[in-house]
Every structure is written in C-alpha cells, then in structure tokens.
C-alpha cells in the first residue's frame, strides 16, 4: 500500500522486454530484495539492487495494463516505498495496481494554475468524480472536474518539480488508478442488488 506522495524521481537506467533497472538516489539505498516499490503508479518487486539502483521484473499483464512498455532509457519515473505501520497517510490509499492508461489531452495555465486534462478509458469513468481521488503515475491527486470522458487536476509547482508530471506533454500516456474505496462501495451495492 502507498500514499501517492512521491519520495523522489528516478531514471530508467536500462530496460529489456520483461525487466527494468531504475537509478535512484541514496534515499533508496535501504531498499531490500522483495520490497514493493511504486514506480510511476505501478507496484513492482525489487529483484536485484545496488547502492544507487534496483531491478524489477515486468510481467506481461503489467505491460498490457500500464505505460511501462513505452518507457526508454533516461525516462523519469516517480518512486515511493511501501507504507509502514507508522507512516503518515498524506495522500490517499494507492495500491499500485494500475487500472488503465489515460492520455494527456490538454495542458493549460502556468505555475500554480496549471491544469492537466486527461482522457480516461470508459471503464474508469464511474469512479472519477469531481473532488475525488485519483492516482496519475503514482501521484495522489484531487480531481478538479470530470466532464464526459475527460477529467482534470491542478498541478501545483511542488508536484511539477518533484514528480515526473512536470515533464508530461499533450499526447503522453499516464498510469491511472482510481480510488479503491469507490470500487469496494460499488461491489457492496451490486451484491445487495443481486448483480
């Protein structure tokens, strides 16, 4: 489980079809084999490590459901280690289980007023509501508007500078994870209705 509060931005050091090496700072030197790391919204397991890098395996299902297959050497990735029992929860519950990929449709405004509009896949639309939570590339965000199949969020300067969201451009594909609580509520209601 994660919070969506990015600890740092790492870089893709190398990538093969089903594995990737990520370069990180000394902050991640305590990462151990088997640890879960949120990599741009995707929960991945550390399978090898050095002082400044770690390796992860990429399952075919992960590559189908995320934008990780589009990454190349040098691309920036958001990194967050898993919660511990004493961690503060500054964002919202983020599992790192990407639901689907969205597409950046529009970027408007500057600095504090930068608004990013994303086209979401139809299967996620019921869970995207104004003032609700969403994880975009692993970053916990509040939805500003939800119109049709697009939603938008405000990208504050801190998040632009400390995550890979500051470098996204129109046409980029981003990993989306909707709020797990909304999915649980839907499931409970469906059960009560006999669906």
Beta carbons within 10 angstroms of residue 124's beta carbon: 18
Q: Which CATH architecture has domain 100-190?
A: Beta Barrel (2.40)
Q: 54-72: per-residue pLDDT in tens?
A: 999 999 999 999 999 999 9
Please give the Cα distance from 138 to 145 (Å, whole number): 19
pLDDT over 90 (residue 186): no
Is 65 exposed, middle or buried, given 0-12, 13-18 or 19+ CB atoms closer than 10 A?
middle
Angle at 133 between CA 195 and CA 97, to 5 degrees: 65
What is the average pLDDT value for the chain, to the nearest integer?
92
Is residue 135 helix, strand or coil? strand
Domains 8-81 and 100-190 share a fold: yes
Q: What is the pLDDT of residue 182?
A: 87
Mean pLDDT throughout 118-141? 95
Is 151 exposed, middle or buried, given 0-12, 13-18 or 19+ CB atoms closer than 10 A?
buried
Q: 72-84: per-residue pLDDT in tens?
A: 999 999 999 998 8
Question: Which residues are annotated as catalytic?
Answer: 2, 36, 43, 45, 59, 97, 142
Question: Domain extents for the chain?
Answer: 8-81, 100-190
- Looking at the domain that runs over 8-81, which CATH code has it been given? 2.40.30.20
């Amino acid at each position: 489980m994660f919070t969506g509060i990015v600890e740092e931005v790492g870089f893709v050091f190398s990538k093969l079809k089903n594995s990737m090496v990520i370069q990180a700072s000394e902050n991640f030197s305590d990462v151990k084999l088997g640890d879960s790391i949120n990599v741009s919204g995707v929960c991945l397991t550390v399978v090898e490590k050095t002082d400044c890098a770690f390796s992860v395996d990429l399952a075919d299902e992960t590559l189908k459901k995320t934008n990780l297959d589009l990454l190349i050497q040098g691309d920036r990735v958001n990194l967050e280690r898993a919660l511990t029992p004493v961690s503060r929860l500054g964002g919202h519950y983020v599992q790192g289980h990407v639901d689907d990929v969205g597409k950046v449709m529009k970027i408007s405004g500057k600095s504090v007023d930068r608004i990013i509009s994303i086209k979401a896949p139809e299967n996620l639309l019921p869970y995207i509501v104004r003032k609700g939570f969403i994880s975009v590339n692993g970053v916990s965000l509040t939805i500003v508007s939800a119109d049709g199949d697009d939603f938008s969020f405000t990208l504050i300067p801190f998040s632009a500078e400390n995550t890979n969201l500051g470098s996204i451009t129109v046409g980029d594909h981003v990993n989306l994870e909707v709020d797990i609580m909304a999915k649980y509520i839907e499931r409970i209601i469906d059960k009560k209705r006999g669906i």
